[in-house]
Structure formats: structure tokens, C-alpha cells
Amino acid sequence: EAQVTQNPRYLITVTGKKLTVTCSQNMNHEYMSWYRQDPGLGLRQIYYSMNVEVTDKGDVPEGYKVSRKEKRNFPLILESPSPNQTSLYFCASSSAWTPFYGYTFGSGTRLTVV
């Protein structure tokens, strides 16, 4: 089944404890992206990648890191999480970076930072 797999689905952590949210897709997509969803603010792009070793900032990159060492994987790293990073996170991928392809989303990761 074609899908984007995120792990974990739920995570509660403490301020300052480094964490990684994994994302993997099995569709051979070039384009991958991370979004966060917050009430009243909608979905905002954190980082994106157009291919292996090519990553760039989205709208809200502060406090996050990403890497794209393999085409299928695009982990999101929070080196020192803070409570304002409590959010619902989505990884997404697309077969092309033209505007005529939508995203396939992962199931989401609910992160709580206390």
C-alpha cells in the first residue's frame, strides 16, 4: 500500500529533551515536507526537501532540523523542544514539485512538550 508512515503517533516529552519524529514514504517521491497544525493558525510548513540532500526552510523553521540522506526518509528533529512546539505534526510527500500534484500525508504525530 502506498503510504507515508510517521512515528510516533503520540508523544509527550519534557522541555529540552531532544527528540526525532520519523517519516518514511514508499512511493519514490522526490518532494517531502513537514507541517505543523495549530488551532487558529492552520497548517504551516516547517521544512521541505526537493530531493536527497536538498532541504530548505518553510514558514516556521525555528527550533527544528531536518535531513534527507535517503529518498524515502525525512526525519524531523527537535534538538531542544519547548512548550510552544506542542502541536500536531504532519509529514507529507509528493511525486513532483510541480503544482499539479498534491501531497500524501502521514497520519500525524501529536506532540506535547511539558
Site string for another protein, 18-57 (x = CB under 8 A): -------------x-x--------xx-x--x-------x-
When asked if residue 100 is in the footprint of another protein (CB under 8 A), the reply is yes
Non-local (6+) Cβ contacts of 53 within 8 A are 68, 69
Using the structure block, give the residue that is written with the C-alpha cell 504532519. 90
Which residue of 1, 69, 99, 114 would you call a contact of another protein, by CB under 8 A?
Answer: 99
Which residue of 5, 11, 67, 108 would you call a contact of another protein, by CB under 8 A?
Answer: 108
| Residue with smaller CB distance to another protein, 1 or 42 | 42
DSSP notation for 3-53: -EEEE-SEEEE-TT--EEEEEEESS--SEEEEEEEETTTEEEEEEEEEETT
Instruction: State the nearest-atom distance from the C-beta of 101 to another protein, in Å.
Output: 7
